[in-house]
Amino acid sequence: MTTSLPITDLEAAAELERLAAEIAYHNARYHTDDAPEISDADYDALVRRNATIEAAFPHLVRADSPSLKVGAAPAAHLAKVAHAKPMMSLDNGFSDEDITDFDARIRRFLTLATDITVALTAEPKIDGLSCSLRYEQGRLVQALTRGDGAIGEDVTANVRTIADIPDTLAGNAPDIFEIRGEVYMAKADFAALNARLLAEADDPEKARQFANPRNAAAGSLRQKDAGVTATRPLRFLAHGWGEASALPADTQLGVMHAIGNWGLPVSDMLVRVDQVAGALAHYRMIEGARADLPFDIDGVVYKVDRLDWQERLGAVSRAPRWAIAHKFPAERAQTVLRAIDIQVGRTGKLTPVARLEPVTVGGVVVTNATLHNADEIARLNVWPGDRIIIQRAGDVIPQIVDNLSRDDARGSWPFPDHCAECGSIAVREEGEVDIRCTGGLICPAQRVERLRHFASRVALDIDGLGTTQIEDFFRDGLVHAPADIFRLTEAQLLDRKKDGRVWAAKLIAAIDDRRAPPLDRFLFALGIRHVGAITARDLARRWTSWTGFADMVGRMAIHRATLTPALAESKDKFLARVGKELAAIAETPQVGPEVTLALTDFFAEPHNVQVIDDLLAQVTPADVVLITRDSPVSGKTIVFTGNLETISRDEAKAQAEALGARVSGSVSSKTDLVVAGPGAGSKLKKAADLGIEVIDEAAWRAIADPK
């Protein structure tokens, strides 16, 4: 079933790109770094938004869509090993209706009559680190974390230190059997560990303290030194299996009982229930006992009990059809809002953080909570001193859900209009909820991310200068701005690696090779909001030189700088005052007021201009030389779809552009021609629906290279 959304193809594609990047970032923070920045509920909301857009625009589903992925890439310091069978994730349900729908989907898929019982197993969803234990001939031979679902981290030596996990299975286990479950830390053990770390620290103010039991378990299991893991009170609870040479039963419950008999802990709250009513009753029982359990849980997992039905149901992308996690609602408490601080994120987003009178929520002492954005502050009408209600959404990051001291007559708390980190103007674009710092190149909070982007493969493509090197150079004071990259010397780099001389020479050579970058890559590398690779290419072709582009934007920026940034009418006023320049830039394909305002906001910030001037003392962007010829497709918009068999997609695009055409990634009413190869799908259908001319690869070759 598809949904209809009031957004265009272009807007949907842009949002899917943003969501993919944001979800990937939070996946890495949770799974790889063990340091989540948002709550489970906020993360789930991002995933649901991505799924909603993909359902409405199936032709825009990306190859790297979050809906096709599980977890995050393994950490660099641990060996990477492929799972014999993927470690999949679970779909989530948040209401009784979601579980009723889950049951209905199972019945439809299996074509079951309404009087046939669908028995489920139900058990607590423990909040730990997923781990797969491989036993051969009854002996533990390997232990892997989930990783990205396909490839995990080898933690065998560390797992052998966990008392719950036997080296040898009891009884007659199959020759090969992978037991999967969660490595976790009990609440009492977590509190004792933090107390011990504090007592052992030379400086209590700098003592290592874990934020919650899940982070403590993950960080402890993924140590380089198994001796450190051995000092941490880790536990294990089995909930399933992976590869197996044989199964000891034909039901989920039967196999789990066998795993328990082999010596692995299995939840004593694991039961078989009849259909939805039984599942929900067990959910209520576990929810009521949640606070008294010795470990953290965030829901209940239901699985179809019959294994033959599980096999028939199969899986979709990242999750099995035969299982679902029924998440708990957040726990709540009252406290006092002491202060509102503004934090600047790696992309320049200004996020308000509430500092609270300490309060215990679900067994955890909470002192901070997220306020999300200026709109949320206005909605709650919160000011320091107010008595508020907080909840731990997903048991990770608390949020304020109600204000008991609300007084609308006093107005909203004044959200800053300048960045607290660098003093640059902070702006809010029309249609967006976030306020962002415009000082991207000079803002301390954004510098590492901006530098990483500047040197990345899709921007200046400086070979050998990746994220790790950027972070190291920034930390050590070698690189703070893009121009600093070009000031690096071999002498500064020699002692940073064992083969320092060879490595340093290669890196300096790679940097020098980018001192005359193509104009489009240079523009994209600056990290200007809304100026992606395609827009940068179009801007470069429209203005052909840095001088022409900078002169145009500079004149617009002068107008923009005369406006009060916080004025609600600033956009309309701006468009009226700079009509001539806007008309000029509007000739650029796919560039409208949103990109125009982003460009002028960027160049109206003196700090950004200073950084670019400094950079231009080191590099000289190459002018664009347009080589085109008259052709039947000059001035037309072309879409390539399907598999091209004689040339690559990039070669085809280059041919089209040399013929004076523009290449687009999606079919719309503005498309003039579609070139379709084998396997063309939704784009071909849309072209037919719109009456757009479609040709095959042979016809395209005749246009591109007429004999």
Return d(Cα 462, Cα 465) in angstroms, integer.
6
Cβ atoms < 10 Å from Cβ of 610: 13
SS3 content of the chain, % helix, strand, coil (to 5): 40, 20, 40
Token pair 């694991």: residue: 270
Return d(Cα 358, Cα 371) in angstroms, integer.
17
Q: Are 540 and 521 a contacting pair, CB within 8 Å? A: no
C-alpha distances (whole Å) from 271 to each of 10, 79, 121, 157, 257 are 48, 37, 6, 33, 10
Q: Which of the residues 69, 80, 85, 125 is marked catalytic?
A: 125
125 catalytic residue (yes or no): yes
Strand-pair partners of 82: 151
Q: Are 314 and 371 a contacting pair, CB within 8 Å? A: no
**Backbone dihedral angles phi then psi of residue 564, each to the nearest 5 degrees:** -75, 115
Spell out a b/e string for 489-502, using b for 16 or more CB atoms within 10 Å of the CB, else e.
eeeebeeeeeeeee
Task: State both tokens at 514.
Answer: 């980018």
Q: 167-171 long-range contacts, Cβ below 8 Å, gap at least 24?
A: 167/139, 167/140, 168/138, 168/139, 168/140, 169/135, 169/138, 169/139, 169/262, 169/263, 169/264, 170/261, 170/262, 170/263, 171/261, 171/262
Return d(Cα 243, Cα 132) in angstroms, integer.
10
C-alpha distances (whole Å) from 646 to each of 248, 650, 677 are 53, 12, 10
Crossing angle of helices 570-577 and 579-586, in 10° steps, is 90
| Closest C-alpha among 642, 636, 645, 641 to residue 703 | 636
| Closest C-alpha among 253, 255, 237 to residue 293 | 237
Amino acid at 128: G
Neighbouring residues of 689: CB distance < 8 A, sequence distance ≥ 6: none
Residues in the chain: 707
| Closest C-alpha among 414, 422, 360, 423 to residue 392 | 360
| Closest C-alpha among 181, 159, 218 to residue 36 | 218
Q: Pairing mode, if any, of strands 119-126 and 297-304?
A: antiparallel
Cβ atoms < 10 Å from Cβ of 483: 18
Return d(Cα 447, Cα 453) in angstroms, integer.
10
Task: State both tokens at 637.
Answer: 């918009």
Return d(Cα 440, Cα 598) in angstroms, integer.
12
Helices of type H across 28-85: 40-56
Q: Pairing mode, if any, of strands 92-93 and 323-327?
A: parallel
State the catalytic residues: 125
